[in-house]
Amino acid sequence: MKLLFTFILLTRSSFAQINDGQLHENYSVTNDSPRVDSISQELIEHYSKINSCYLPLLKDPALHYKGSKAEVQWSELFNNSLSEESQYKNRYLVGDFMALNEKLESRGIKEKNPNLNDLVDFKGYDEELFELFDAAERSTVDVETLYSYIRNKHADDSTELINFYKKVWRFKTPPFVRKFSRMRGNVYATGQRVCLCEAHEDTLLLIAQYATSSKRLEPRVRKDSTGKVVSVSHIEYLPIGRRRRYYASQYRITSKNWEGDRKYEVADIAHDKKLGGGNKRVTYYKGRAQLPNFLLMEPTEDYPQAMHQNGIHEVALRELSRGMLGTANSIGCIRLSDFGSKFTRWWVPQDARFFVLYSDERYHKKISVEIIKNHLPFKSEQEGNLFRKWLNEKKPLKAKQMDIDIEGSYDNGFILDAYNLYGQEYEKSKETDL
């Protein structure tokens, strides 16, 4: 598989060797495996190309703004506000904001959903539970089957497990796999991602990887003589060159907020307490538009000139579509999908480190529409509406979650994202109908 669309978890049981863009798992790690903080920069560079969790340890000044600290120690990956006994102390985030590969071509995005078996939160639970978690999206009957199983098999943990399904897992969608993104006739290179990582002595584990959107736009507000806002438009403002310091290379997650569509209940309070903090506050953009699951990111002291009051949150402003995830198209905050934001909010500990890294020339690129014309799944509104109808009938929860109406555009970001996730299943259903 080509390097563009693959990555590997460098776990205690296997390392990877990289040759000519191919991955080979061909030897096991023993108790004599080298510590991560002792491996060479050459190996870290190789690993970082397929697992962005290694990117912070790469001593490359091009990934940071000029004159800033360009070196992160292995010990800095750890959360220094949790107790030494905390099982969440080794969790950190990486914002790999490079949309282009080393040849300055769109590198594409391939998301990775978490494997519950990899999480310390679910150690000791059986595989059947995980299978029922995934099956529950099919119908209310399957949901009740899951709940019944939990109450009978895991009675002591039933409140926590059912709450996890209701508040997080039921929003799970298939991973996004996308080479380009399109909005209003414009096409952009895609590849930006947020990675959920765990640091261990002998490996940096990639738990999940989500397409994201970082800054490209700046709001321009026009007011009349009385000070009343007449219009709001957006101009391009790329955080590169002199503006590169807009993003610090290292942050702490200092506040974990909530959203208006989910109740913040006793089980949520208990879970937040285990991870060092969290609250039920809801963040709003200019007091109006809700920014669900807002994670406030505060620059560390090494980056005093970076923008403050930024955060990671679910895509919320309709004019900046979730179909643009993977590209630089936000007005400053870090955007995630519905499920990506909910799981990240649930998974990340209070005061976890968040590393933002990219090189200027690989941050953003606009592409000719002609390049992707043959890659569009629909050629007309009629074709697009047939898919819209199928999704609303077969997966009404997902259609609502992704804002897919019965009728509409056949080539905007919303429908292209939905087809990206469910197109294979849709095409198979058409073959069955024949």
Low-confidence winner among 216-220, 261-265, 273-277 (lowest mean pLDDT): 216-220
Per-residue pLDDT tens digits for 98-131: 999 999 999 999 999 999 999 999 999 999 999 9
Q: Given a cut of 70, is residue 136 above it in pLDDT?
A: yes
Domains of the chain: 60-113+177-367 (2.40.440.10), 121-171 (no CATH), 378-433 (no CATH)
Mean pLDDT of the chain: 87
Percent of the chain beyond pLDDT 70?
A: 90
- For residues 165-189, give the mean pLDDT: 87
Task: Report in angstroms the alpha-carbon separations of 52 from 47, 115, 192, 358.
Answer: 8, 18, 11, 11
The b-or-e profile of 389-409 (16+ CB within 10 A means b, else e) is: ebbeeebeebbebbbbeeeee
**Residue 282 · residue 259 · CB < 8 Å:** yes
Q: Given a cut of 70, is residue 3 above it in pLDDT?
A: no
The beta strands (E) that lie in 58-151 are given as 91-96, 109-110
Per-residue pLDDT tens digits for 335-352: 999 999 999 999 999 999
Identify the band that residue 315 occupies on the pLDDT scale cut at 50, 70 and 90. Answer: confident
Q: Given a cut of 60, is residue 325 above it in pLDDT?
A: yes
The per-residue pLDDT for 322 is: 64
Give me the half-sphere count of Cα atoms (radius 13 Å) on the Cβ side of residue 53: 26
Q: Are strands 91-96 and 353-357 parallel, antiparallel or unpaired?
A: parallel
- For residues 237-243, give the mean pLDDT: 95
Q: Could you tell me which residue, 140 or 368, shows the higher pLDDT? A: 140
- For residues 79-86, give the mean pLDDT: 94
**Residue 123 · residue 234 · CB < 8 Å:** no
The per-residue pLDDT for 72 is: 93
H/E run at residue 231:
strand 229-236
Q: Could you tell me which residue, 316 or 66, shows the higher pLDDT? A: 66
The per-residue pLDDT for 307 is: 93
CB neighbourhood size of 212 (10 A) = 29
Q: Given a cut of 60, is residue 155 above it in pLDDT?
A: yes
CA 421 to chain CA mean position, Å: 15
- pTM of the shown model: 0.85
The per-residue pLDDT for 208 is: 98
Using CA atoms, how far apart are residues 186 and 368, in angstroms rounded to an integer?
Answer: 8
The pair phi, psi for residue 138, each rounded to 5°, is: -75, -35
Q: Could you tell me which residue, 1 or 243, shows the higher pLDDT? A: 243
The per-residue pLDDT for 256 is: 98
Low-confidence winner among 70-74, 154-158, 264-268 (lowest mean pLDDT): 70-74
Identify the band that residue 22 occupies on the pLDDT scale cut at 50, 70 and 90. Answer: very low
Phi-psi label, residue 160: left if phi above 0, alpha if psi -120 to 50, beta otherwise:
alpha
- For residues 79-102, give the mean pLDDT: 96
Per-residue pLDDT tens digits for 271-309: 999 999 999 999 998 777 899 999 999 999 999 999 998
